[in-house]
Amino acid sequence: MLSSSITRRAFSSAIKTITPLTSKKHPHLKRGPYKKVDAQDINVFKKLLPEQQQVVTEDTDVYNLDFFNLYRGSSNKFNQIRSFDATSGIVVVDAGVILQNLDQHLEPHGYTVPLDLGAKGSCQIGGNVSTNAGGLRLMRFGNLHGNVLGLEVVLPDGTILNSLATPLRKDNTGYDLKQLFIGAEGTLGIVTGVALLTPKKARATNVAMVAVDSFEHIQQAYASARDELSEILSAFEFWDHDSVQLVQKTMLSDQIYPLNSSSSPYYALLETQGSREDHDMQKLESYLEKNMTNGVIQDGVLAQDASQVNALWQWREKIPEAITRSGTAMTYDVAMDIRLFPRMVQDVKTKFPPGKSQYSNILGFGHIGDGNLHIMANMEGFDQHGQEAFDDYIFKWAIEHQGSISAEHGIGIHKVDYMTQCKNPVQLALMRKIKANFDKHSIMNPYKVIPENNGV
Amino acid sequence: MLSSSITRRAFSSAIKTITPLTSKKHPHLKRGPYKKVDAQDINVFKKLLPEQQQVVTEDTDVYNLDFFNLYRGSSNKFNQIRSFDATSGIVVVDAGVILQNLDQHLEPHGYTVPLDLGAKGSCQIGGNVSTNAGGLRLMRFGNLHGNVLGLEVVLPDGTILNSLATPLRKDNTGYDLKQLFIGAEGTLGIVTGVALLTPKKARATNVAMVAVDSFEHIQQAYASARDELSEILSAFEFWDHDSVQLVQKTMLSDQIYPLNSSSSPYYALLETQGSREDHDMQKLESYLEKNMTNGVIQDGVLAQDASQVNALWQWREKIPEAITRSGTAMTYDVAMDIRLFPRMVQDVKTKFPPGKSQYSNILGFGHIGDGNLHIMANMEGFDQHGQEAFDDYIFKWAIEHQGSISAEHGIGIHKVDYMTQCKNPVQLALMRKIKANFDKHSIMNPYKVIPENNGV
């Protein structure tokens, strides 16, 4: 029933139009007196880095466009795995190593990376650290604040802060400086090297996809999974009916939805990772039987081999790409009490009726296990005001409901104006103090993350 | 065979002599111009905190002595559980809540605390956070940098930094300020409230104790446990022959060592926590059979019920108390490549021959899964120079072997003079910068963690 021809997590970069430079998109920014990079500067770097091709000045677009084709900046060579210790599982890498390449390097040693993103094939570990990326298996492995054991960071004055020499599982000697750079989005320094604790790769991976008739049943299915699957549960993802429709139409039109009905309001994907296939299957089958008997789950399918695992995952993983292929993408990443998820999506649809406004394909999906909802939508053409209105509604909704406007994507330039609403004055003052203390000339990723102090 | 009468982790505080005040023990400290607390100050606090008994001025010893009877300072009422959400597992507590009390509060909801220490019955969550405590199950739950979701901290100027209002599993909005206070040992602010992500309590706990004939076999037994027990492995502890002898003599003289022989050089305790007793037992039995057949494990015993689980654990957990009962305790907490553990213990014994010097009972034990070795020893009487010589040898040995002088106990005043040797100048400069930036009058836990700047 399931096709096996799809490569998992291999997003194609089907970018058709070139996004304007961020400087054009955000003309209101009061830009500082920064120097433009000229030939003389490039020569300095060429002397500092004499080896062939270390200074790249052409064909840099691939390093400057974000996945959603929303941001384009104006430069990666840091792609070496420096060391790996197969006893401790500690790996030290350049910041430019692509997550999937690192995973492939670890695999023969029986280890895996402790984070897994849809963008695995193109994202780099330095970016993952700088944005504190979460991804699909955060509920299993925890976040990067726990898994990063050391960083090499170039500070604003050119000094290199290096804690990679002796990465250890435990080290309580003074302030844990590296933590400040995890999720700081490059505003305090540039991460150039990372020491990561990697977990053992599980021997068995099993995946089930289920349909439920209400969001309450998603919650019940999740609570039951935590009890019944417990230590082997590695992901619990959900998506709504509209997500299925769009993925089917734009990405997987040659495939049959693996469940009998594609008209249920919600679906979930459960993944288990464990050391014994037979035990894991018993747990998963008993979970499914129990929850189908008591009416929590309406329909379910269990992958029988690795290709079916991939085939099931793609119905979740293709959602962001389906959105980018369907028009101008607007993508949101909020965190809150999971009981609020359906209300938020419904409120957004009521405010901006899909098809009856300039907006369409308003989708809700995400990581139930982390309380992390992704809302994505398309907009006709590109209308700055249209985006801002949508942003404003979503960010304010999240803030009013004790949620976060950024569970994992970060603040960047997109959400910086909302920081004064989602952080209290003490938090803002302390962030500004740290920023000023580390980067007195504001040369590190300016205008991002920390809002200008206008007395707020 | 196993006694069931021992209460697990209930260290008695058998303190016989009163340790001198730290001001007497460290007379060389150049003390700053700090004001002494007088009756007028106490009246200010009594007005600020008018409710009965919030200001404690008598019988404060219990708050001022450390477990090892090594440090005595000159004061706890913050012991309320503020909220618990049984859907997300997020709990918000006062800093003075005792870890075991929190665990008991969570238990009826099916949750547990994500850290477990020998001192569980007396240590407080604020102290755990301020020292980034690790403990017995760090390999399962990860460290506090990953599990703390929010803090309430009183900053040096009296401002309250509060991120407890909306604790979320994921929140990437600006700098993760709380991280700075985790493990800062109170030098940047005082933690008064904590939001913690708690995991589900496992349904089944199984424990095996094994004897091996070499440290290489400890390593092999650990590597095999990571493969065979994988997701259910919750602790892998080891101790040496001398540890058994001392625990038997001082603490458990009425009990028979649970293994046939108590003369093996090393022992290990493996704990599994999972959702199905039958699966876990199958995994553990197959692990033991495999490793006994191939000669890695010489002898093993598997607890058959909860009381036997406790009885096995005490052979590991009583070690620190056995040391404190046997004379002046010296306790070390280093992290390094686990392959170095036996060499370090042997080198220490060669340098300071037990029984032939003022030192005795030099024990090696700890958390194999975390690369964390505890060395503990006794000294006759209390001899400052004797302790300093022992300290110096151990700290330098760890530093020379790319290890950490503090895996989890922190720096405090004990190791502050070694910070210049174990941190590079960039790290030290940044720590000093942060300290000065947060606490310009140096009123937060002065003389601790960050060494004075003497141009080093």
User: What are the residue ranges of helices labelled H in B295-424?
Assistant: 306-317, 319-324, 341-351, 384-400, 419-422
pLDDT tens digits, residue range A426-437? 999 999 999 999
Q: Mean pLDDT, to the nearest integer, of B155-179?
A: 94
Question: Which is more confident, A40 or B207?
Answer: B207
Are A448 and A412 within 8 A, CB to CB?
yes
Q: Does residue B64 have a pLDDT over 80?
A: no
CB contact under 8 A, B170 and A202: no
**B 18-47 → A contacts, CB under 8 A:** none
- Using a CB-CB cut-off of 8 Å, the residues of chain A touching B405 are 173
Would you call B231 and A172 a contact, using CB atoms and an 8 Å cutoff?
no
The β-bridge relationship of strands B328-335 and B299-302 is unpaired
B132: pLDDT strictly greater than 50: yes
Would you place residue B207 in the very low, low, confident or very high pLDDT band (cuts 50, 70, 90)?
A: very high
Any chain A CB within 8 A of the CB of B433?
yes
Is a pLDDT exceeding 90 seen at residue B131? yes
* Ranges for all domains in chain A classified under CATH 3.30.70.2740: 327-410
Q: Do B430 and A132 touch (CB under 8 A)?
A: no
Which residues of chain B neighbour A175 with C-beta distances below 8 Å? 180, 183-184, 188, 430-431, 434-435, 449-450
From the candidates B172, B413, B435, which should be mutated to test the interface with A, based on the most A CB atoms within 10 A? Answer: B172
B107 contacts chain A (CB < 8 A) = no
Q: What is the CATH topology of the domain spanning B81-197?
A: 3.30.465
What stretches of A175-265 show up as alpha helix (H) in DSSP? 178-181, 215-228, 241-250
Nearest to A171 among B232, B279, B335 (CB): B335
Q: CA of A87, closest CA in chain B: separation in Å?
A: 8
Closest CA to B148 of B87, B198, B112, B202: B198
Does residue B38 carry a pLDDT above 80? yes
Distance, in angstroms, between A335 CA and closest chain B CA? 7
Please answer yes or no on whether B110 and A227 come within 8 Å at the CB atom. yes
pLDDT in the model for residue A5: 28
pLDDT tens digit sequence for B389-422 = 999 999 999 999 999 999 988 999 999 999 999 9
Q: Which of B143, B279, B339 sits opposite A279 (nearest CB)?
A: B279
The CA distance from A1 to the nearest CA of chain B, in Å, is: 31
Nearest Cα to Cα of residue A377 among A357, A396, A397: A357
Higher pLDDT pick, B47 / A399:
A399
A183, with CB counted inside 10 A (0-12, 13-18, 19+), is: buried
Number of helices and strands (H, E) in chain B? 17, 12
For residue B76, pLDDT beyond 70: yes
The reply to whether B374 touches chain A by the CB within 8 Å rule is no
* DSSP-derived pairing of the beta strands B160-162 and B148-154: antiparallel
Q: CA-CA distance, A409 to B173, in Å (whole number)? A: 9
The residue among B75 and A31 whose pLDDT is bigger is A31
Q: Which of A52-56, B139-143, B246-250 shows the lowest mean pLDDT across its residues?
A: A52-56
Mutate to test the interface with A, among B169, B440, B444 (most CBs of A within 10 A): B169
Calculate how close chain A gets to B172, using CA atoms only, in Å. Answer: 5
Instruction: Give pLDDT tens digits for A225-257.
Output: 999 999 999 999 999 999 999 999 999 999 999
Least confident of A102-111, A121-130, B19-28, B81-90: B19-28
Taking 80 as the threshold, does the pLDDT of residue B56 lie above it?
no
Residue B328: is its pLDDT beyond 70?
Answer: yes
Q: What is the structure's pLDDT at A57?
A: 72
Lowest pLDDT segment from B3-12, B100-109, B310-319? B3-12
A151 to chain B, any CB pair closer than 8 A? The answer is: no
Question: Using an 8 Å Cβ cutoff, are A439 and A154 in contact?
Answer: no
Which residues from chain A sit within 8 angstroms of residue B145, using beta carbons? 145-146, 176, 179
Across chain B, mean pLDDT equals 89
Residues 221 to 250 of A: which have CB under 8 A from any B CB?
223, 226-232
Contact: B166, A404; criterion CB under 8 Å: yes
Does the structure show a pLDDT above 50 at B74? no
Residues of chain B by 3-state class (helix, strand, coil), percent to 5: 35, 20, 45
Chain B CB within 8 Å of residue A204 CB: no
Report pLDDT digits (tens) over A260-317.
877 899 999 999 999 999 999 999 999 999 999 999 999 999 999 999 999 999 999 9
Query: Is A14 touching B (CB cutoff 8 A)?
Result: no
Please tell me the distance in Å from B115's CA to the nearest CA on chain A: 14
Q: Of A85-99, A132-146, A385-399, B24-38, which gets the smallest average pLDDT?
A: B24-38
Location of each CATH 3.30.465.10 domain in chain A: 81-197
Q: What angle do CA A154, A155, A160 make, to 5 degrees?
A: 50
Phi, psi of A63, deg, nearest 5: -90, -5
Q: Which pLDDT score is estimated for B52?
A: 61
Give the model confidence (pLDDT) of A404-423 as tens digits. 999 998 999 999 999 999 99
pLDDT of residue A10: 27
Distance in angstroms between the alpha carbons of the first and the last residue of chain A: 58
Residue A37: pLDDT band (50, 70, 90) is confident
- Which stretch of DSSP H or E encloses residue A91? strand A90-94
- Across the beta sheet with B359-367, the strand order is B299-302, B204-212, B266-274, B233-240, B359-367, B372-379, B328-335
Q: In the CATH scheme, what is the code of domain A327-410?
A: 3.30.70.2740
Number of residues assigned to chain B: 456
Contact A433 B437 (CB under 8 A): yes
Query: Could you tell me which chain B residue has the CA closest to the CA of A403?
Result: B166
Q: Is the pLDDT of residue B6 over 60?
A: no
Share of chain A above pLDDT 90, in %: 76
Among partner residues A231, A406, A407, which is closest to B231 by beta-carbon distance?
Answer: A231
* pLDDT in the model for residue B37: 82
CATH code linked to domain B204-319: 3.30.70.2190
pLDDT at B361 > cutoff 70: yes
- Chain A positions touching B402 (Cβ under 8 A) are 165-166
Q: Which of A146, A202, A231 sits opposite B146 (nearest CB)?
A: A146
What SS3 state is found at A390? helix
Interface test with B, best of A171, A205, A233, A277 (most B CBs within 10 A): A171
In the 8-state DSSP scheme, what is residue B439?
Answer: -
Q: How many CB atoms lie within 10 A of CB B61?
A: 12
Reference A168, options B359, B242, B363, B405; nearest CA is B405
- B380 compared with A70, residue with greater pLDDT: B380
Residue B375 has pLDDT above 50, yes or no: yes
Give me the residues of B, 327-356, that contact A with CB < 8 A: 335-339
**How far is residue A200 CA from its own chain's centroid?**
22
For residue A95, what are the contacts with CB-CB under 8 A and spacing of at least 6? A78, A124, A125, A126, A127, A129, A152, A190, A191, A192, A193, A194
ipTM: 0.88
pLDDT band at B222 (very low <50, low <70, confident <90, very high): very high
Taking CB atoms and an 8 Å cutoff, what residues of chain B touch A87?
A: 219, 223, 337-339
Q: Do A88 and B371 touch (CB under 8 A)?
A: yes
Question: How far is residue B112's CA from residue A244's CA, in Å, rounded to a whole number?
Answer: 37
The segment(s) of chain B belonging to CATH 3.30.70.2190 are 204-319
CB atoms within 10 A of CB B393: 14
pLDDT tens profile A315-369:
999 999 999 999 999 999 999 999 999 999 999 999 999 989 999 999 999 999 8
Strands (E), B336-453: 359-367, 372-379
Mean pLDDT of chain A: 89
Range scoring the smallest mean pLDDT among A382-386, B31-35, B265-269: B31-35
Beta carbons of A173 and B422 less than 8 Å apart = yes
Mean pLDDT, to the nearest integer, of B283-293? 96
Query: Under DSSP, is residue B19 helix (H, G, I), strand (E, B) or coil?
Result: coil
Nearest beta carbon to residue A177 from set B110, B405, B431: B431
